[in-house]
């Protein structure tokens, strides 16, 4: 796959209350953003088990986004705070194991931030395009 026509595939785990609703707003507001993202809705960013992220990464996802409410705004009070720590740990572990932790993104996007959602997808898509395909895509022996 050449650099120019490489279209990264981004898996987004979005919380029901903020980021998923923000993505919805981006849609109803007719905001343009790249079609590279595949959204999976969860009730809370705190429900994103690291194993979901790892499975996506090892299966060849080029970018993984975890979207949640801004700190202090979690529908379940502290899910996003806990997820923040888990992501810090996960990225450190991936780095230590020699994997590219920069493919993992976490973003706080509220239900009213359709614009921010569209911008985030643009930014992540561009950055992952720049990085090129995830090497796990072609690694069969993982």
Partner 1 sequence: MRIRVPVENGDTLKALQGFLQKLLSENVVDILLAPMRTPAGTITPALVTDPAMLVYADPLAPVLPVNAATLVGQVSARKPRPRVGAVLRSCEARALVELVKLQQASLDDIVLIAVDCAGTYGVPEYLKRTSANGRPKEDLWKELFASALQNPAVPPESLRQACKICEQPVFDQAQVVIELLDYNLDRQVTVTLADALGEKLGYDPAEAGQRTEVVDKLVQARTVRRDAEFAAIRARMEGQENLTGVFAACIRCHNCMTVCPICYCKTCVFKSQIFDHEPMQYVAWTRQKGAYRMPSDTMLFHLTRLNHMALSCVGCGMCTEACPAELPVGAVFRAIGQRVQGVFNYLPGRDLDEKPPLITFKADEWTEVGE
Question: Smallest gap, in angstroms, from Cβ of residue 64 to partner 1?
Answer: 13
Residue 23: count other Cβ atoms within 10 Å of its Cβ: 25
* CB of 122 closer than 8 Å to CB of 83: no
Note whether 139 binds partner 1 by CB under 8 A. yes
Element (H, E) at 124: helix 114-131
Beta-sheet pairing, 37-42 with 104-108 = unpaired
The vertex-55 CA angle with 77 and 113, nearest 5°, equals 40
Question: Smallest gap, in angstroms, from Cβ of residue 15 to partner 1?
Answer: 12
Question: Smallest gap, in angstroms, from Cβ of residue 129 to partner 1?
Answer: 20
Distance separating alpha carbons of residues 71 and 54, to the nearest angstrom:
24
Judged by CB under 8 A, the stretch of 21-29, 36-44, 50-58, 123-131 that binds partner 1 is 50-58
Q: Taking CB under 8 A as the criterion, which residues in 54-113 touch partner 1?
A: 54-55, 58-60, 68, 70-72, 78, 80-82, 84-90, 92-99, 106-108
Q: Counting Cβ atoms within 10 Å, is residue 57 exposed (0-12), middle (13-18) or buried (19+)? A: buried
Question: Smallest gap, in angstroms, from Cβ of residue 25 to partner 1?
Answer: 19
Considering the complex, state which of residue 30 and residue 56 has its C-beta at the smaller distance from partner 1.
56
Which residues of this chain interact with partner 1, rule CB under 8 A?
50-51, 54-55, 58-60, 68, 70-72, 78, 80-82, 84-90, 92-99, 106-108, 137-142
């Amino acid at each position: 796959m050449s650099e120019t026509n490489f279209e990264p595939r981004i898996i987004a785990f979005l919380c029901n209350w903020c980021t998923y609703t923000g993505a919805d707003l981006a849609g109803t507001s007719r905001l343009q953003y790249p079609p590279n993202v595949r959204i999976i809705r969860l009730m809370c960013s705190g429900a994103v088990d690291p194993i979901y992220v790892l499975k996506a990464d090892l299966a060849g996802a080029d970018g993984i986004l975890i979207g949640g409410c801004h700190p202090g705004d979690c529908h379940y009070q502290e899910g996003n705070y806990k997820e923040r720590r888990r992501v810090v740990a996960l990225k450190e572990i991936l780095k230590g194991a020699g994997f590219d932790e920069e493919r993992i993104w976490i973003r706080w996007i509220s239900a009213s931030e359709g614009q921010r959602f569209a911008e985030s997808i643009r930014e992540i898509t561009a950055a992952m395009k720049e990085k090129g395909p995830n090497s796990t895509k072609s690694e069969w022996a993982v």
